Structure 1
């Protein structure tokens, strides 16, 4: 055991301590359900992860939510024992705004802490609980949770040896977009955003999705899995993401905030591999998603064997991420092209957590993979400390980027999701008056 002020955590090794499951807000259940987060002072030891937020997914190596698990709004800290005034990485997990947690093995912060950062990961409300439309309740409750967590971290991080004025907000996928929303709402020094999705929702879409959910039943983030099962046709049939921030568009990043963006070369290979994306004919995908015909034709010609997979990945993640970097004006931008180059393949390298990540990175890690991980982890550490990832003499793998981007010039990617919510014909659950 180890202690920092009133927080008692665990010794990871001779250098690093961890403080897990620190509550930052009251359990969002009962009278507080669907409300804004209510700050709370943590009491008790910090020796195990807090419960994950209600969700239907069960992820490898991560805990699952069970009825009765209520203290879901918590954060975790990893720090060197000698840390003092160290830069802070505040990391938000991804998961389509519907699943995931800070307890996933991918996000263990020990290696980054050993390299000089104070690392924080946090849980926030997901799915309908965090983003569903509830009349009279605040919208985007998951984003409000993230703001509450960051404020508590800012107030307490000096106890763990972190500098409250040197916080880098970071995330991947839904966590990356969340980082942008957080940076637009709270003062931060730097932002790291990997694979930012262009997925925000109109208020009308959120209302229509809510018709499939019965909010009078407990933990509707779990029961909303039934709604997902009904969405099998049209645009949502290819990408059944029903929840996300209700907004007009992703917020641009203040050019005064240091920025590091990254995306992978074939994002949707992951979703194909896990069965979440069953590639249709690329013409069908383009028509359902409103992608111009000339863009579809370019992918059919350039990637005949996986046109739909490559188009989907660039449409949802790669091109939006690149445009955000360009709009910022001085952002650092990386393209992770190491095979298989799927969504999330870059994350284990940045955290230094390659062991157990064979599925994401394409096989067991060897010397080359560990060397690449050391470089990528160091880039994050240097960026958090100075605003410069220190990229010098970077080796290039894969195709030139400009020909890949050329078909997207002039195509509007900022439109929020406003698809028709159609299903199999089953009636939505009865909602109490």
Structure 2
């Protein structure tokens, strides 16, 4: 229990007591370890629950975060890194610490960053607004990059996924002490975090640990076992070590971070240069080398295939994307591509000729670079979201689909990450003005955040479920409206997949 007379709240967990801090009517418990530090013999092992501690553990400051590669330096989300070895932690934000009778709904958030970057300690992921609206919020960390997802001959695959599962088991066993209800858990995440929650939707071992899924710009990218082994062997060879736990443990984190970011560590030096290769990789999902592996065991099948087979049909699902996620990925090529045939370039990156022509016809007014940028956005995010929604609708299983269409005044488009501060209703947080301008519309945050709260609390975000033949999609903009067949423009890509 919590002694409310204390300046700082205390809660008893299964491993020991933790002491958080009060903040404007709710409490934050930061850096609570759910697993032993993944170092030494545990570096490439499955996560192990943290051993009990004596006394009261301070949880007033963020814990150590997994080390990150250069991608984190260009992310649009502020994601600080904290040094230390104990990197597998949860941050818990709650309005009712110690009240085991409160049984508030719970949001568990998994951060993005391409599975190689990101931090659970972002001020954007603070649960204050969700606490205000009666939702206990948990932000989790996990092993990134090669440490979390790289193939090693004698190590378990998908160590990052095992981290997510252990964190969810920690929530199951402890969240009641923070005022939450373990029977009302919604998992959510953005970008790779959105892919994480879609992956967990298909993982049988995780099925009992949550009831609902909210995927924000979720990637459905995964890695085959053969590719995972090829990447892992190549990295070990580049380092001059055996592809085993013993061999790779001789490498520092810094060395592995450098190797996992080098193209020549996983590709043949004899491969001819292909200027369209980055676009092809982005569109196909193969740009993410260190990502969930479809190993046939923990992860039985790719996300879309599993959902088409009815996996996770008992879970509520909201998913969507911003309208222009990665359009900016080709902005530097605008002059180079000015005179190129857009349909021809789409064919060159893997779109069937007929579908390429239909896609160009469906996007009048875009120049070639704009067309390719929109294609990357649609192939990576919007078309897979529609495919998943179509599968659920065909089976009569509710799913709710949205588009975030409000254009950033600083970027001129609805870019990747733009919707996150609206989801968390933290428009006054640091760096939000960089991505959303000086006066982002509070009414839009009310819509986006309010829909999330409704879904977490009731299982219905407040707009019509995606159903055939209407295919209604919620378009978050000023004003927000529901639109029939709101992703029709990516249907041609879905049919060509």
Same fold per TM (> 0.5)? yes
Matches within 5 A, 1:240-279: 240-247=287-294, 248-250=301-303, 251-252=306-307, 253-269=311-327, 271=329
Give the alignment partner of residue 439 of structure 2, picking from 359, 365, 379: 365
Matched residue SS, 2:235:
coil
Matches within 5 A, 1:36-115: 36-41=46-51, 43=53, 44-57=57-70, 58-59=72-73, 61-64=78-81, 66=83, 69-81=84-96, 84-115=102-133
Cα distance, 1:114–1:255 mapped onto 2, change above 3 Å: same
Give the alignment partner of residue 150 of structure 1, picking from 148, 168, 179: 168
Distance between the aligned counterparts of 1:29 and 1:233, measured in 2?
Answer: 39
Matched residue SS, 2:183:
strand
In structure 1, the gaps of 5 or more residues are 413-433
1:85-124 CA distance string (max 9 Å, x none): 1000011111111100111122111111111100001000
Given that 2:383 and 2:494 are in contact with CA atoms closer than 8 Å, whether structure 1 keeps it comes out as: no
Structure 1 stretches (4+) deviating beyond 6 angstroms? 229-232, 275-281, 397-400
Distance between the aligned counterparts of 2:226 and 2:159, measured in 1?
Answer: 17
Alpha-carbon RMSD across the aligned residues, in angstroms, is 2.8
> 1:209 — aligned with what?
231
Distance between the aligned counterparts of 2:354 and 2:226, measured in 1?
Answer: 30
Distance between the aligned counterparts of 1:396 and 1:158, measured in 2?
Answer: 37
- 1:277 deviates by 12
Distance between the aligned counterparts of 1:112 and 1:38, measured in 2?
Answer: 30
Give the alignment partner of residue 388 of structure 2, picking from 294, 304, 324: 324
Distance between the aligned counterparts of 1:125 and 1:99, measured in 2?
Answer: 10
> 2:468 — aligned with what?
none
- 1:287 deviates by 4.6
> 2:5 — aligned with what?
none
Distance between the aligned counterparts of 1:344 and 1:397, measured in 2?
Answer: 22
Q: RCO higher in 1 or 2 (8 Å CA, sep ≥ 6)?
A: 1
Q: TM-score, normalised by structure 1?
A: 0.85
Cα distance, 1:94–1:235 mapped onto 2, change above 3 Å: farther
Give the alignment partner of residue 262 of structure 2, picking from 217, 227, 249: 227
Q: TM-score, normalised by structure 2?
A: 0.75
Number of residue pairs aligned between Structure 1 and Structure 2: 405
Distance between the aligned counterparts of 2:213 and 2:335, measured in 1?
Answer: 33
> 1:426 — aligned with what?
none
Distance between the aligned counterparts of 1:384 and 1:277, measured in 2?
Answer: 42
The structure whose Rg is larger is 2
Cα distance, 1:277–1:16 mapped onto 2, change above 3 Å: farther
In structure 2, the gaps of 5 or more residues are 1-7, 240-247, 268-272, 295-300, 408-412, 465-473
- 1:234 deviates by 6.2
Distance between the aligned counterparts of 1:122 and 1:284, measured in 2?
Answer: 43
- Does 1:117 find its partner at 2:135? yes
- 1:62 deviates by 2.8
